[in-house]
Amino acid sequence: MTPYKNRKCKITKRLAEDMLIRHLAEATIDAYTYHVRRFADFIEKPLESATVEDVRTFQLYLIRERKLAYSTFNQAVCALRFLYTHTIRVPWPVVMVPFGKRPKTLPTVLSRHEIDQLIQCTANLKHRTFLMVLYSGGLRFSEAANLKIHDIDSRRMQIRVACGKGKKERLVPLSPRLLSELRIYWKKYRPSDFLFPGKSVNKIYAGTTIQKVMKVSAKKAGIHRRVYPHVLRHSYATGLLEAGVDLLTISKLLGHASFVTTMVYLHCRREHLHSTPSPLDWLPVRQLPTLTPPPENDSDPKKS
């Protein structure tokens, strides 16, 4: 996705400035300017002349032709709503641009044994330490990638997450085992600013790198499900629930705006599923039909 700073269109530049005034994240600005640029190319006329029917046709194009996931589809809708609410005033109501209904799916969760195997099968020290940081604090990838040396407080045994979603800062516990691994990692790589720098000292860790690493490690560990960085966050939250940590505390550790978001992990607890009986087990065994077929009768006149 092209950074918004490299876009030359006057409207997208104005859109980026309106978002900067509201202190929105750079990733959000990049995404919104991308979708607005795609919309402009689709309608092939000035954005100021667009109608609500143009937006509707573009939405159908995203669903039918591009086959976008509804999370990306809704991101495009948010971009257009922001454009025609704050950057360009239009004679038609912006609320007529509808969102798509997202399917509610349960998160992928790995067991403690699978997490252990995944980490053990990651040979590179930097990659392995990064995975341990993701799992030990339930961090998002961007949060872990933006960690700096001074964010690790070994005296208070806390990790300061300064680049949380929505620019919200929070503290998470620092695992003693993780601290030992971080000291080994620091002695080898000697990072000066970012804890996990990318190809250069001033660049953050690339997401594609760790995704490829996790895919290879999962294959070695015999994990046949799709594994990606956010799975470790899901596994962290579910593991805390199974250990008896209350939902509100987990919500604060994850940085959720509402603990209602955290409630999805209630459906992933093993104790929750295993403690629920099946009505089939309540039926008397004598009432179940026999699976043994009746013996054939050789004297049946129809067979003679």
Distance CA 111, CA 222 (A): 13
In 10 A of CB 106, how many CB atoms?
Answer: 10
3-state helix, strand and coil shares in percent for the chain, rounded to the nearest 5: 60, 5, 40
Is the Cβ–Cβ distance between 71 and 102 less than 8 Å? yes
Whether 230 is a known active-site residue: answer: yes
Whether 267 is a known active-site residue: answer: no
CA angle 54, 59, 60 (to 5 degrees): 100
Whether 140 is a known active-site residue: answer: yes
- Sequence letter at residue 66: R
Distance CA 162, CA 172 (A): 11
Catalytic residue among 148, 230, 252, 269: 230
Whether 203 is a known active-site residue: answer: no
Catalytic residue among 140, 205, 234, 236: 140
**What tokens does 163 get?**
């680049």
Distance CA 166, CA 80 (A): 20
Q: Which residues pair with 153 in a beta bridge?
A: 158
Whether 165 is a known active-site residue: answer: yes
Whether 256 is a known active-site residue: answer: yes
Side-chain half-sphere CA neighbours of 120 within 13 A = 10
**What tokens does 213 get?**
């690493």
Catalytic residue among 7, 126, 128, 233: 233
Distance CA 221, CA 115 (A): 9
Catalytic residue among 13, 14, 148, 165: 165
Distance CA 9, CA 171 (A): 40
Is the Cβ–Cβ distance between 174 and 154 less than 8 Å? yes
Q: Which residues are catalytic?
A: 140, 165, 230, 233, 256, 265
